[in-house]
Structure 1
Amino acid sequence: MGSVDRGRLDGRRALVTGGSKGSGAAVAQRLRELGADVYVTARTMPEGYEHPDRFIAADTSTAEGTALVASSIAEAGGVDVLVHVVGGASTPSGGFAAITDEQWATELQLNFLGAVRLDRALLPSMVRSGHGVVLHFTSIQRQMPQYDASLAYAAAKAALRTYSKGLANELAPHGVRVNAISPGGIETEAYERFVDRIAEGNGLSREGAKQKILDSLGGVPLGRFARTEEIADLVGFLVSDQASAIVGAEYVIDGGTVPTT
């Protein structure tokens, strides 16, 4: 079978969490282009969504939301590819002392436990079938935690990485591959709005605001953040048969932000 065929996902069913916008939307689109039947879950279906029969409106940070997604996917016949994109930080600034128990719980549910619950619901069918691919989105903050307003997010993503590695070792003998992708900054609509706020608040041009953001990370050697389609490119490869020997890995896509030794 040729390499082009091994990159295709024809005949496979996929689920992308957080797939309504940003990287999640780009990933869902790419998997469809590769031939997969793609289901998407997010809290709210975007207006005019092109595939309403493949959208599951649910909050996967809750047990109820996870159960709704799991039952919908079970009715569809299970999935062959599961990509956990959903995540985010909502902690107020102020460092460790400002993070309440409730805020810790919120970050852990959204960025870690939601994936754990959904895996627990959907992966047994993969194990029974003897094949499947799971991809967890972690973050470079698990290696470079920003303490002011995203320490809980960073810690949750570190937990997700450790969990992913253990899960990969457990499931690989059953034909199920588990890997992680660790993005740095991504040029999403939310990022562009953030650039506008930084520019307005500091009297800078948009380019000046972008440079200020890059400098706050200690610099990004590539000179820019990753684009959503570049994130989707990596996901498409990792969930395809072209990556059939890659298990328990974490691929960093950050333009060189994380220093290596």
Structure 2
Amino acid sequence: MSGSDRDRLDGRRALVTGGSKGSGKAVAERLREMGADVYVTARTMPDGYEHPDRFIEADVTTIEGTDAVAARIAEAGGALDILVHVVGGASTPAGGFAVITDDQWLTELNLNFLGAVRLDRALLPAMIESGAGVVLHFTSIQRELPQYDASLAYAAAKAALRTYSKGLANELAPRGVRVNAISLGGIETEAYERFVDRIAEGNGLTREEAKQTIYDSLGGVPLGRFANTAEIADLVGFLVSDRASAIVGAEYVIDGGTVPTV
């Protein structure tokens, strides 16, 4: 196989969760550029979406949503070749551990952990039967650097996802399916830029000063900036390609050097 062939995904089917915006959108676009037939799932299809026949409106934090995605993929016929779990986020209010209710814990766990577990359970048996495939779970540097004020439940859920991902990798590698994880630091998305604006306006700062305040809250970002979504997509493109055929059970950190330990 030539080097260029190892960069291509022609003839392969992929599913990207949380693929309507941010990193998920960039990942879906990159996999299409590489030749894959890409399905995307999110709660709502954006207006004017270019590939409506490949969009699955579903909430994968619920059992019903997971079932709907699995049914749609089954209708298309055959096993997936690539499954990328991007969906995630934190909605816990500030105030520390004592304000996190049972319902909020379940919200964070369903969004950041159990949704991926359920979707894997639904879609991976066909991938295993085919004897080949790649699964990527998006974790977070908060599994190593948990922020306690408003994202402790998120951090715990992502830590669980990493542990699950490693165990799943060990189980499935002998059966031809590679499982890996990508640990994200801060990402320059539209939502992040709006957050910078709020910090700047609320504190009388320039946007650059506001960004530095955010970096300082994480203990610093040696690179001096967060990764952008295209850089996340670059890493995904490599890990799902044949160039990464010996990489199993790994977690790739992309955080501009935020995590200070080895």
Q: Is the TM-score greater than 0.5?
A: yes
1:58 pairs with 2:78:
no
SS at match of 2:8: coil
1:176 pairs with 2:173:
no
> Could you tell me how far apart the structure 2 residues matched to 1:242 and 1:260 are?
28
RMSD: 0.5
> Could you tell me how far apart the structure 2 residues matched to 1:143 and 1:7 are?
32
> Could you tell me how far apart the structure 1 residues matched to 2:195 and 2:74 are?
38
> Could you tell me how far apart the structure 1 residues matched to 2:32 and 2:12 are?
10
Query: Aligned residue for 1:31?
Result: 31
Shift in Å, 1:21:
0.1
Structure 1 runs of 4+ with >3 Å offset: none
1:5 pairs with 2:5:
yes
> Could you tell me how far apart the structure 2 residues matched to 1:24 and 1:242 are?
21
> Could you tell me how far apart the structure 2 residues matched to 1:225 and 1:82 are?
25
Shift in Å, 1:167:
0.2
> Could you tell me how far apart the structure 1 residues matched to 2:246 and 2:53 are?
34
Shift in Å, 1:137:
0.1
| TM-superposition CA deviations, 1:1-46 (whole Å, max 9, x none) | 1122111100000000000000000000000000000000000000
> Could you tell me how far apart the structure 1 residues matched to 2:152 and 2:90 are?
9
Q: Give the TM-score normalised by the residue count of structure 1.
A: 0.99
Shift in Å, 1:124:
0.2
SS at match of 1:177: strand
> Could you tell me how far apart the structure 2 residues matched to 1:207 and 1:3 are?
41
Query: Aligned residue for 1:210?
Result: 211
The count of aligned residue pairs is 261
Query: Aligned residue for 2:162?
Result: 161
Query: Aligned residue for 1:199?
Result: 200
| TM-superposition CA deviations, 1:118-177 (whole Å, max 9, x none) | 000000001100000000000000000000000000000000000000000000000000
Query: Aligned residue for 2:130?
Result: 129
1:225 pairs with 2:242:
no
> Percent same amino acid at aligned positions?
85
Query: Aligned residue for 1:188?
Result: 189
Query: Aligned residue for 1:116?
Result: 117
Unaligned runs of 5+ in 1: none
> Could you tell me how far apart the structure 2 residues matched to 1:186 and 1:3 are?
30
| TM-superposition CA deviations, 1:38-78 (whole Å, max 9, x none) | 00000000000000000000000000000000000011123
In structure 2, what residue type is equivalent to 1:45? Answer: M
In structure 2, what residue type is equivalent to 1:197? Answer: R
Q: Give the TM-score normalised by the residue count of structure 2.
A: 0.99
Unaligned runs of 5+ in 2: none
Query: Aligned residue for 2:87?
Result: 86
SS at match of 2:48: coil
In structure 2, what residue type is equivalent to 1:60? Answer: V
